[in-house]
Amino acid sequence: MKSSHISLAIISLVASCSAMWLDTNNKSSVIENAGIIVDGVMDYYDGNRYGGTVGMFVWPYYWWEAGGVWGSLIDYTYFTKNETLVPIIKEALLYQTGDDNNYIPLNQSTTEGNDDQGFWGIAVMGAAERNFSNPDDDSKSWLTLAQAVFNTMTARWDEAECDGGLRWQIFQWNSGYDYKNSVSNGCLFHIGARLARYTANDSYVVWAERVWEWMYGIGLLTEGDWWFVYDGVNVGGNCTNLTKYQWTYNQGLMLAGCAYLYNYTEDEKWLNRTLNLLTASKVFFSDINGENVMYEAACQPSNNCNNDQRSFKAYFSRFLGLTSILVPQTNSVIRQWLVDSANWANKNSCTGGFDGHTCGLNWFNSTGWDGYWGLGEQISALEVTQNLLTYDLPPPYTANNGGSSVGNPAAGYATTNSNASPLTLGTKDKAGAGIITAVIGVSLVASGVWLVL
Ligand SMILES: *[C@@H]1O[C@H](CO)[C@@H](O)[C@H](O)[C@H]1NC(C)=O
Ligand SMILES: *[C@@H]1O[C@H](CO)[C@@H](O)[C@H](O)[C@H]1NC(C)=O
Ligand SMILES: *[C@@H]1O[C@H](CO)[C@@H](O)[C@H](O)[C@H]1NC(C)=O
Ligand SMILES: *[C@@H]1O[C@H](CO)[C@@H](O)[C@H](O)[C@H]1NC(C)=O
Ligand SMILES: *[C@@H]1O[C@H](CO)[C@@H](O)[C@H](O)[C@H]1NC(C)=O
Ligand SMILES: *[C@@H]1O[C@H](CO)[C@@H](O)[C@H](O)[C@H]1NC(C)=O
Ligand SMILES: *[C@@H]1O[C@H](CO)[C@@H](O)[C@H](O)[C@H]1NC(C)=O
Ligand SMILES: *[C@@H]1O[C@H](CO)[C@@H](O)[C@H](O)[C@H]1NC(C)=O
Ligand SMILES: *[C@@H]1O[C@H](CO)[C@@H](O)[C@H](O)[C@H]1NC(C)=O
Ligand SMILES: *[C@@H]1O[C@H](CO)[C@@H](O)[C@H](O)[C@H]1NC(C)=O
């Protein structure tokens, strides 16, 4: 059943189109390509298939990645002004909120991590900032949902071990509960930064600062010549055992978070942090004939990227686009990176499959499409392409300037699933949940090499 889903996805990729041409200075050309790539994304959507689930993509793409994809598609509708997908996106975002409107839906609640919830939080934050079509029900407004995610995450801030930080997992029975990682804490930092700018409420700045200081103190953030973001740290041994993988999306979460904070506070500290993280982002670009082409350095060269990791370049591209708008000093560097990467992705990599425009993982493979395909490959190419359009449009809206989403700063607090308080689960459920996260954990550790400069 699972593999038939996938072959369905491939077979439905039959369209008539020649290999992708792109002129990055020609807006129509960028929009046209984004439209072709987005059709490839929707081939993986499960919600309008018989027996499928609204908001979810086909197996083996997990719930968190769906949150990532909806974030990409919200921007797609904003950048291209193509409204076709608006009803589908809206339905998906509202269907998956969970009973407590905090993105801990019952189907996910046994396995959900802070990072998973965070990616849906980022999607709805983006919806507020893009003035995406508002829900009728204010208790599910985009801003309220983002605040509920933020509030339930801060409620899990854990001072008991290592003086702070979020654990990777929400629930004790999941392996990874003893790991405090950058993506979970980075999501909290990033959403806090965006809420601060959108609402002009300084409490969010205080939280963002707290997360930054904790991550820095524990060694997840390095400074000096290279400002890196490491994967995470084991709680055992008082958080001294760091796992030093570097992923594009973690660098991007912190980078764009700093950019939002600088844009809002105008505090030079955040400008410096933005610029330093940007300089270090260079490790995720390979010099190909003098052009800088994005790649997932920890797993791509060794052909070891798992399904999750194959989508990271999408979020990194989105975060780079946001940074270049919010901190104009970064604009020329980022824009050139996006232009070079989009050129290689479109002309060299999105040439695969039966349809001739399925996108691969390695955009600079010497023989063109590298044979990889999937939802992650497709949204990565979409984001790097569509972010070229960001320069012609208004910056992310705020409550005072273009945004219409009405918030509730107390959202999420009164709910039952907001904490790490154990649900009542049978032993079988616990074992199942544990195995799923153990597999993810092992593949994370087994994949890739540490980046050494
Ligand atoms: C811009 O791209 C569009 C869409 O591909 C194409 O029709 C048009 O000719 C291009 N314009 C220029 C000046 O190249
Ligand atoms: C608009 O979006 C739809 C749905 O993804 C897509 O099929 C269509 O090609 C897009 N239109 C253009 C002009 O790109
Ligand atoms: C939860 O799973 C059931 C069974 O697969 C499905 O029918 C339902 O739509 C799912 N709900 C959500 C919110 O995903
Ligand atoms: C600002 O945000 C904090 C933290 O979420 C909240 O407690 C407070 O009510 C908010 N203040 C206003 C004026 O919205
Ligand atoms: C654990 O680490 C924190 C932060 O580095 C430090 O403040 C605390 O004293 C350490 N505790 C122990 C028991 O070593
Ligand atoms: C350090 O972390 C690694 C990877 O998470 C783990 O395999 C190892 O056992 C840990 N070492 C110690 C001393 O805790
Ligand atoms: C920011 O960086 C500049 C240049 O390196 C330095 O002079 C300045 O003191 C820094 N500001 C802060 C607040 O760290
Ligand atoms: C904030 O972003 C806007 C929009 O791009 C820009 O005009 C403004 O200069 C930025 N503010 C700062 C302090 O960089
Ligand atoms: C390039 O693509 C070919 C398939 O076309 C594949 O065999 C090869 O491993 C790829 N190389 C890299 C470096 O990805
Ligand atoms: C945002 O959406 C609201 C409600 O649809 C609309 O009235 C307003 O004009 C929109 N703002 C912008 C900047 O487009």
Q: Whose CA is nearest to atom 2 of ligand 4?
A: 203
The response to whether residue 53 sits with its C-beta less than 6 Å from ligand 3 reads yes
Structure tokens at 207: 């939280």
Per-residue model confidence (pLDDT) at position 282? 98
> What's the gap in Å between 169 CA and the centre of ligand 6?
17
Give the ligand 4 atom nearest the CA of 207: 4
Helices (H), 96-171: 114-129, 142-154
Ligand with smallest separation from the Cα of 349: 9
CB 317 within 8 A of CB 71: no
Give the closest residue (by CA) to ligand 4 atom 5: 409
**Is ligand 5 within 6 A of the CB of residue 163?**
yes
Pocket test of ligand 1: the residue of 22, 26, 36, 357 to mutate, having most ligand atoms within 8 Å of its CB, is 26
405 alpha carbon to ligand 10 midpoint, in Å?
Answer: 9
Q: Is the alpha carbon torsion for 219, 224, 228, 229 positive or negative?
A: positive
Q: What does residue 264 show for φ and ψ, rounded to 5 degrees?
A: -80, -50
Q: Ligand 7 pocket, 272 CB below 6 A?
A: yes
**260-283: average pLDDT:** 98
- 59 C-beta closer than 6 A to ligand 3: no
**Could you give the 3-state DSSP secondary structure of residue 401?**
strand
pTM of the entire predicted model: 0.91
157: Cβ below 6 Å to ligand 3? no
Place of tokens 């707290």: 210
Q: Which atom of ligand 9 is nearest to the CA of 366?
A: 1
pLDDT digits (tens, 9 = 90+) for 300-317: 999 999 999 999 999 999
**Does residue 355 carry a pLDDT above 90?**
no
- pLDDT 10s digits, 41-59: 999 999 999 999 999 999 9
The reply to whether ligand 10 has any atom less than 6 angstroms from the CB of 404 is: yes
| Per-residue pLDDT, 51 | 93
For residue 339, pLDDT beyond 50: yes
Closest CA to ligand 4's atom 13: 201
Q: What confidence tens digit (pLDDT) does each residue in 382-405 have?
A: 999 999 999 999 999 999 999 999
- Three-state DSSP class for residue 286: strand
Phi, psi of 241 (to 5 degrees): -100, 90
DSSP string, 324-341: HHHSGGGHHHHHHHHHHH
Task: Kindly tell me if the per-residue pLDDT of 260 is higher than 60.
Answer: yes
Residues 109-138 pLDDT 10s: 889 999 999 999 999 999 999 999 999 999
